[in-house]
Amino acid sequence: MAWITVFLFCLIIWGFIATGVTYATNSFTGKPRIEPVEKPKVVDIEKIKKLDLNDKQKRFIDSLTEQPKKKSD
């Protein structure tokens, strides 16, 4: 009778271990942990260029909106 009790006790313990491992592997997969970053807002360049800016500010805005020129070798 004692061996049957030990055997059943071991089955229960191994069942808990297997259940815990299965639960742990399922909880780590699926959902990303980091929330997606919001998309950058689109700025209307024409509205910015219509603002009343001094020359230095206008040059700065133009330098931000220009497309980078590729170097040709």
- Per residue in 16-39, pLDDT (tens digit) is 999 988 887 776 666 666 666 776
Instruction: Report percent pLDDT > 90 for the chain.
Output: 22
Determine if the pTM surpasses 0.85.
Answer: no
- CB neighbours of 11 closer than 8 A, spacing ≥ 6? none
